[in-house]
Structure 1
Amino acid sequence: MSATAGQADGVTNVAERLGIEPSSIVTEIGYDEDVDEQLREAVIDRCGEIVDEDTDEVVDVVLLWWREDDGDLVETLMDARSPLADTGMIWLLTPKPGRDGHVEPSEISEAVRTVGFQQTSNINAARDWSGARLVTPKAGRGKR
């Protein structure tokens, strides 16, 4: 196996670790030139497409690319919650420490609590990006 193939498998495995299933409907918010294209391609390979953030569909996964200077995280999380299925999840993708746009974990925790989500896990999503899995607490599901 070549190093390139191994790296590609690693990115594909990340898409699986994100909980992306072949039948998942995935959207993204915060796309910009600095996102990790390999991760996006792995997600697309896994589920077929990333639907536009203005979709009317109920989505299973929201990929939220977020940087320090992107504005109000609470407001954006509220917007991300809108198309989300009751059992869906948001992956909050932020630049790793030392990278431009890094977001302090305390800022993430505060925003997550304010919106009423739970942060259930963290992963090394890509070379420059960390991921935090956010879900609606089970007691709050189905009450919207």
Structure 2
Amino acid sequence: MNQTASKKAEEFGFHAGDIVQEWLWDDDVDDSIREKIENLTGEELVDEDYDSAVDGVILWWRDGDDEDELSDTIVDAYAVLGEDGPLWVLTPKPGRPGAASSIVVQNAAKTAGMNAAMPLTVSDDWNGIHLRAFGKGR
């Protein structure tokens, strides 16, 4: 049973009714991922200006963006995330414009006090890396 998160949005760890915050949206994001999350949760994604607690986060990251900025953004996103809510960094897959090395994401996550899982294919053009605070869960 090796389905990608794009085919089974539940693999992101979001649930019906969850408020999911989206960081660093740009016109290159995969709208099918956004749509599947919204269909699963029944809620529209909220942007980084949303000022209440959220149940999950997706953060779009591309090569050429500053690694220190990624660490800071992870810290900011985690600050509004409810306890144990999923936090995902989405990056273009290798060979795609803006493809970011998973090492960059892992280093930024470590700086932010998080563990980074192995990349998961979430669409034809994007990978997702699930982050967890040190000492939290699997």
Report TM bin, short chain. Answer: 0.7 to 0.9
Say which of 82, 93, 96 aligns to 2:93.
96
* CA distance in 2: counterparts of 1:68 and 1:11, whole angstroms: 22
Say which of 100, 107, 110 aligns to 1:110.
107
Q: Deviations over 1:23-44 (max 9, x none)?
A: 2110100111111111111111
Report what 2:126 is aligned to.
Answer: 129
Q: Alpha carbon RMSD of aligned pairs, Å?
A: 1.8
Report what 2:59 is aligned to.
Answer: 64
Say which of 56, 71, 75 aligns to 2:72.
75
Indicate the structure with greater helix content: 1
* CA distance in 1: counterparts of 2:93 and 2:48, whole angstroms: 24
Unaligned runs of 5+ in 1: 1-9, 140-144
Say which of 37, 44, 53 aligns to 1:43.
37
User: Segments of 4+ in structure 1 off by > 3 A?
Assistant: none
* CA distance in 2: counterparts of 1:67 and 1:85, whole angstroms: 25
Pairing 1:23–2:17 present = yes
1:11 CA drift (Å): 3.0
How do residues 3-18 of structure 1 correspond to structure 2 at under 5 angstroms?
11-13=6-8, 15-18=9-12
* CA distance in 1: counterparts of 2:72 and 2:89, whole angstroms: 14
Report what 1:86 is aligned to.
Answer: 83
Unaligned runs of 5+ in 2: none
TM-score normalized by structure 2?
0.85
1:12 CA drift (Å): 4.5
Indicate the structure with greater strand content: 1
Percent of pairs identical after alignment? Answer: 38
Q: Which structure's relative contact order is higher, taking Cα pairs within 8 Å and 6+ residues apart?
A: 2
Any idea what SS the aligned residue of 1:101 has? coil
More moved, 29-38 vs 47-56? 47-56
The higher radius of gyration belongs to 1
Q: Deviations over 1:92-129 (max 9, x none)?
A: 00010011111112211111111101123431011110
Any idea what SS the aligned residue of 2:106 has? helix
